[in-house]
Amino acid sequence: MEMLNKVCEGLELIKRRNPLVHHITNYVSVNDCANITLTIGASPVMSDAIEDIEDLIKISNALVLNIGTLNKRTIESMIFLGKEANKINIPIVLDPVGAGATKLRTETALKILEEIKIDVLRGNMSEIKSLLGVSSNTKGVDSTEKMDGAEDIASLAANRFSCVIGISGEVDVISDGKEIYKVSNGHSILTKVTGTGCMVTSLIGSFLGAGCEPLTACVSSYTVMGICGEEAYKKVGNNIGTFKVKLFDELFNLDETKIKEGGKIEKC
Amino acid sequence: MEMLNKVCEGLELIKRRNPLVHHITNYVSVNDCANITLTIGASPVMSDAIEDIEDLIKISNALVLNIGTLNKRTIESMIFLGKEANKINIPIVLDPVGAGATKLRTETALKILEEIKIDVLRGNMSEIKSLLGVSSNTKGVDSTEKMDGAEDIASLAANRFSCVIGISGEVDVISDGKEIYKVSNGHSILTKVTGTGCMVTSLIGSFLGAGCEPLTACVSSYTVMGICGEEAYKKVGNNIGTFKVKLFDELFNLDETKIKEGGKIEKC
Amino acid sequence: MEMLNKVCEGLELIKRRNPLVHHITNYVSVNDCANITLTIGASPVMSDAIEDIEDLIKISNALVLNIGTLNKRTIESMIFLGKEANKINIPIVLDPVGAGATKLRTETALKILEEIKIDVLRGNMSEIKSLLGVSSNTKGVDSTEKMDGAEDIASLAANRFSCVIGISGEVDVISDGKEIYKVSNGHSILTKVTGTGCMVTSLIGSFLGAGCEPLTACVSSYTVMGICGEEAYKKVGNNIGTFKVKLFDELFNLDETKIKEGGKIEKC
């Protein structure tokens, strides 16, 4: 299948090009985001000081904006750096953590989407719906939303925000407004580790930084994370601490064969 | 024994109700606090921006205030959010990390205790003594204090601050000012992992959020952490990295049988 | 060999004296830095609030300054605390993360080196060269620089900044401006875990805090980290998640025999 080939190519590109992925992200999962970026073969850099990031973006290949623990200072930095990235065509992925849960989060994500050209917007159903102004249920930063209608929501959001949308769920739904992909890899235990969504976002940054198209980057990230989650679970079962450790082992050793055999990507 | 039954009920309640536990906490152990909260069956949310937290507390079931890496901005947020939580009867646990080690920490903890109704105050012997104005030895954020007289100190503090007190030590001492409980579960290797105290505080937040009484929440958290520490040590021995990972595995799979067989709670 | 004996003595001293190591460090690897400090037998304390740190430094035995996620507020705190530490003769190790990558990082590191007496400066080749004003290649916070001429650069920097220099690389090069040591322990997989450089810096703080000379502290930290990296890799192979966990296990159980058998220190 064509998309599975693209996932393999993308992984190969990351390892060859070793893109630098700049992050303005939250302080909860930041260490895992740095490690997942290294694990897949890219290089992470984390900095949120406006005096510091102007120089860093010039040597970066992609930008991750994650509003997980936003505040006035880092919001300013995100807006500033997003615009700088746009000027020099650095691709951007936005993770609107907790949009819908607070006015500040919803408004910040919308402001970023309005003022900055975003390539991929990845969130859960609650977050994406709240950005569309569609009523939704949210519980802090975790979604309690069912995935009914995710394809329509993804499509709608892709057209509204002119970017690729990734909606995380039991089946992940990805759309660029024209095509829709579904990735059914993964395991529910992934939702019991904090920051797995953020980690997918960092993977998207890695694929984007390696030169992949946004749609490919998003589908690929869900696919590799999902396959590794399945494999890790097979090996360690219901042991949440060991599972998280094993997830990194699996991603570090992921290869073409495992992707082609294990990838469950469906084009709708 | 009655309290062991309450621990089991509390754990069951957390898993059933999946309470949302808001944290304003330090950036050292924040990831472990989020993961321990998920591991026991609750949901963590971390945010310290005053513009953000007013909305979050309304959907939260408990509040954790941890002054581990406090600064002017986050102190303001803690005071503000504590008052908001009080208005809508959200239970609060305070972890006065490093009280006694610096004037700022002692004064901040005392200010919180004065201006906000706290349900549980959990710290080590140095911290609790310093809040009582009793001379103590502290070494940064780790206690060097012996546990002599912990029962009296817990009782005294409970009456002074009108809340349940948990004092961590080889034997943990818990008091609401009337009753005193001792939990002798645990293993000394737990003190070689950073943030295990903070993690107990997050567990207290989880039990409180599920609807447990403060005394039960505090005793339960020490008991489950202690049992899991013992079990993890039995399985992996003196391997500090693996031990930390295993601790999460044990908590994720903790059940009534293990609590009833392993819990060492004594009512004084 | 004399230096190997000093490494063993240093480790012994840390375990006996349990020094308190104050950190102003980045939010990416801070948890690992705290845990590595505990693992080797010292005690970490992390705080960057100017109102808080003045008290903490008085009870600390060493200070770690790490500019990994610097901002205006924390730069001020570092300058302030460095001066306070100098007044009371607390030894300091500086990690100039990303110097050369941004003007702010280069200037901040140089300002610290100018205004504060630093005992050990530890970085990669790009960072140290950029501080010397020698042209270099940098890629965010990771070095892309070859180690050619590292001995001269270490020597030059030691004399320029009047402190011990540690340059991390396949072979680590350490100099106090007179003597040069090389440590060829380690494994390339260490570069695939975020923050291993920061962790070495925290180890240097631990050795300094125990009373070791700066040259010994720096050589010792590279040696113990390198040996543990080799041992961990031997046991778990190419499994990056498990490798990181095992690294802590190895350090926790490191003893004189392993250091004497495994240490590869060369005096040039």
For chain A, percent of residues with pLDDT exceeding 70: 96
**Between β-strands A172-175 and A180-183, what pairing exists: parallel, antiparallel or unpaired?**
antiparallel
* Domain count across chain A: 1
Helix, strand or coil, per DSSP, at residue B70: coil
pLDDT at A147: 80
**pLDDT tens digit string along B48-91?**
999 999 999 999 999 999 999 999 999 999 999 999 999 999 99
**pLDDT above 80 for A196:** yes
CB pair distance less than 8 Å for A102 and B56: yes
> Across the strands, what pairs with C122?
C166
* pLDDT tens-digit series, residues A142-160: 666 778 899 999 999 999 9
Res A137 pLDDT > 90: no
Within 8 A of A38 by CB-CB distance, chain C residues are 192-194, 240
Residue contact A101–B244, C-beta within 8 A: no
User: Which of A143, A41, A9, A19 shows the shortest CA–CA distance to A93?
Assistant: A19
Positive/negative CA dihedral, B69, B71, B77, B82: positive
Percentage above 70 pLDDT, chain B: 96
Distance of alpha carbon A17 from alpha carbon A39, whole angstroms: 14
Q: What is the pLDDT of residue B139?
A: 61
For residue A60, the chain C residue with the least C-alpha distance is: C140
Q: What integer pLDDT is reported at residue A216 of this predicted model?
A: 98
Query: What are the pLDDT digits (tens) for C179-219?
Result: 999 999 999 999 999 999 999 999 999 999 999 999 999 99
Dist. CA C35–CA B196, nearest whole Å: 11
Closest C-alpha to C44, from B73, A197, B194: B194
On chain C, the residues whose CB falls within 8 A of the CB of A39 are 192, 240-241
Which chain B residues touch A101 with a CB distance below 8 Å? 45, 55-56, 59
Residue numbers in B near A192 (CB within 8 A)? 38-39, 252
Cβ-based contacts of B49 with chain A (< 8 Å): 69-72, 104
Span A104-120, mean pLDDT? 98
pLDDT at B254: 98
Q: Do B45 and A98 touch (CB under 8 A)?
A: yes
Question: Across chain A, what does the average pLDDT equal?
Answer: 96
Nearest by CB to B240, which of C49, C52, C252?
C252
Whether the predicted pLDDT of B47 surpasses 80: yes
Which pLDDT belongs to residue B145? 72
**Structure confidence at residue C197 (pLDDT):** 98
Helix (H, G, I), strand (E, B) or coil at A122: strand
Best residue in A24, A27, A32, A35 to probe C by mutation, most C CBs within 10 Å?
Answer: A35
Strands of A92-95's sheet in order across: A43-46, A20-24, A62-66, A92-95, A120-124, A164-168, A172-175, A180-183, A265-267
User: What was the pLDDT predicted at C259?
Assistant: 98
Q: What angle is formed at CA C24 by the lines to CA B50 and CA B45, rounded to 5 degrees?
A: 35
- SS3 labels along A73-118: HHHHHHHHHHHHHHHCCCCEEEECCCECCEHHHHHHHHHHHHHCCC
Work out the pLDDT band at B137, boundaries 50, 70, 90: low
Judge: C27–A22 Cβ closer than 8 Å, yes or no: no
Say yes or no for a CB contact (<8 Å) between C252 and B241: yes
> Which H helix or E strand runs over B125?
helix B125-132
Confidence of residue B148 (pLDDT cuts 50, 70, 90): confident
Judged against a pLDDT cut of 90, whether residue B41 lies above it is answered with yes
Q: What is the pLDDT of residue C18?
A: 98
For residue range B159-211, list pLDDT tens digits in order: 999 999 999 999 999 999 999 999 999 999 999 999 999 999 999 999 999 99
* CB nearest B47 (choices: A69, A138, A193): A69
Of the candidates B42, B33, B43, the residue with the CA atom closest to the CA atom of residue B15: B42
Is residue A86 very low, low, confident or very high in pLDDT (cuts 50, 70, 90)?
Answer: very high
CB A20 within 8 A of CB A60: yes
Q: Which two tokens stand for residue B113?
A: 């205790």
ipTM of this predicted structure? 0.95
Q: Which residue has the higher pLDDT, B61 or B143?
A: B61
Going by their DSSP bridges, the two strands C172-175 and C180-183 should be labelled as antiparallel
Among A94-108, B210-224, C144-158, name the one with the lowest average pLDDT.
Answer: C144-158
Average pLDDT, chain C: 96
Contact C167, C156 (CB under 8 A): no
Query: Which residue in B48, B104, B199 has the most chain C C-beta atoms within 10 A of its own C-beta, making it the best mutation to test that interface?
Result: B104
- pLDDT digit string (tens) for A1-46? 599 999 999 999 999 999 999 999 999 999 999 999 999 999 999 9
pLDDT in tens, C122-144: 999 999 999 999 876 666 666 66
Higher pLDDT, C116 or C147: C116
What would the mean pLDDT of C26-31 be, rounded to a whole number? 98
B144 — pLDDT class (breaks 50, 70, 90): low
Q: Using alpha carbons, select from B75, B142, B135, B137 the residue that is nearest to residue B109.
A: B75
For A176, list phi and psi in degrees, rounded to 5.
-105, 10
Q: How would residue C22 be classed by pLDDT, with cut points 50, 70 and 90?
A: very high
List all residues 6 or more positions away from C148 whose beta carbon is below 8 Å from its beta carbon.
none
In Å, how far is C81's CA from the nearest CA of chain B?
14
The CA distance from A126 to the nearest CA of chain B, in Å, is 15
Neighbors of chain B with 3 or more C-beta pairs under 8 Å: A, C
DSSP class of residue B139 equals E
Name the residue in chain B with its Cα closest to that of C18: B139
Give residue-wise pLDDT tens across range C231-240: 999 999 999 9
pLDDT value at A138 more than 80: no
User: What does the pLDDT read at residue C138?
Assistant: 62
Q: What is the mean pLDDT of residues B9-15?
A: 98
Domain that holds residue C85: 2-267
What CATH number is attached to the domain comprising B47? Answer: 3.40.1190.20
β-bridge pairing C43-46 and B172-175? unpaired
